[in-house]
Amino acid sequence: MEKKVLYINACARSESRTDRIARALLERLGGLQEEVKLAEMDLQPLSEERLNRRTWLIEEADYTDAMFDLARQFQQADEIVIAAPYWDLSFPAILKLYLENIYVTGLVSEYTETGRPHGLCLAGKLWYVTTAGGPYLPDFSYQYLHTLAAEYFGIPETELICAEMLDVEGFDADNLVAQQIGQIQKRKLL
Ligand SMILES: Cc1cc2nc3c(=O)[nH]c(=O)nc-3n(C[C@H](O)[C@H](O)[C@H](O)COP(=O)(O)O)c2cc1C
């Protein structure tokens, strides 16, 4: 069976360089691909009403509700690619909204009797693709996703792909992006 590759696209700009690099990676990964383009979705924050409804559904162990569609899709993917530009030391808020929506206890994660999280996701690997205007500090973006994936979602491997210094005078952004794409194209990933 072909592997299911989920592309979570948190890029805002139509000329996004992060998206361009991610698409080069997706081409190498192959498989059956599904894209979630966050900018085109009507993701809602967890208001009190939504939280209550969600808690009630989780208590009933009823995960068939449409409010869990994205979480089910995330849980079932074999490989996950997140593309998110480096914004304010982190990533666009829309990606946090997505994470809040998919982090459904009982679907992507559960807690053991000792209170430790145990991941329920099927994916073997999560890729995090980003580009930064200046120097990239992974602490509040890749590092966060890495911890979530490893400790809470049960995704054993994560990898960062990053092109940085793209908006700094004297740095050739097109060339830096092309270099990153060239490196991806040389890798044996299929
Ligand atoms: C709202 C916003 C916040 C940004 N914050 C940072 C930042 O904290 N550090 C940095 O190096 N670049 C920052 N940048 C620059 C982007 O990281 C850079 O232009 C990136 O390549 C944009 O990705 P894209 O081409 O995929 O849109 C920011 C850009 C925007 C629009």
Chain segment 93-126, per-residue pLDDT in tens = 999 999 999 999 999 999 999 999 999 999 999 9
Pocket-testing residue among 17, 87, 162, 175, ligand 1, by greatest number of atoms within 8 A of Cβ: 87
Q: Which backbone phi and psi does 7 adopt, to 5 degrees?
A: -105, 115
Q: Which of 101, 98, 103, 80 is nearest to 152 (CA)?
A: 103
The residue whose CA is least distant from atom 18 of ligand 1 is: 133
Domain boundaries, the chain: 4-186
| pLDDT tens, residue by residue, 126-180 | 999 999 999 999 999 999 999 999 999 999 999 999 999 999 999 999 999 999 9
Whole-number Å distance, alpha carbon 133 to ligand 1 midpoint, is: 5
User: What span, in angstroms and rounded, lies between the C-alpha atoms of 171 and 79?
Assistant: 33
What six digits make up the tokens of 129? 């693709």
User: What span, in angstroms and rounded, lies between the C-alpha atoms of 181 and 162?
Assistant: 10
User: What span, in angstroms and rounded, lies between the C-alpha atoms of 71 and 64?
Assistant: 11
> C-alpha distances in angstroms, 123 versus 3, 13, 49, 67, 97?
10, 28, 31, 21, 21
The residue whose CA is least distant from atom 12 of ligand 1 is: 133
Average pLDDT score, the chain: 96
Whole-number Å distance, alpha carbon 186 to ligand 1 midpoint, is: 27
Whole-number Å distance, alpha carbon 126 to ligand 1 midpoint, is: 22
State the pTM of this model.
0.97
**Spatial contact of 141 and 160, defined as CB atoms under 8 Å apart:** no
* Whether CATH 3.40.50.360 fits 4-186: yes
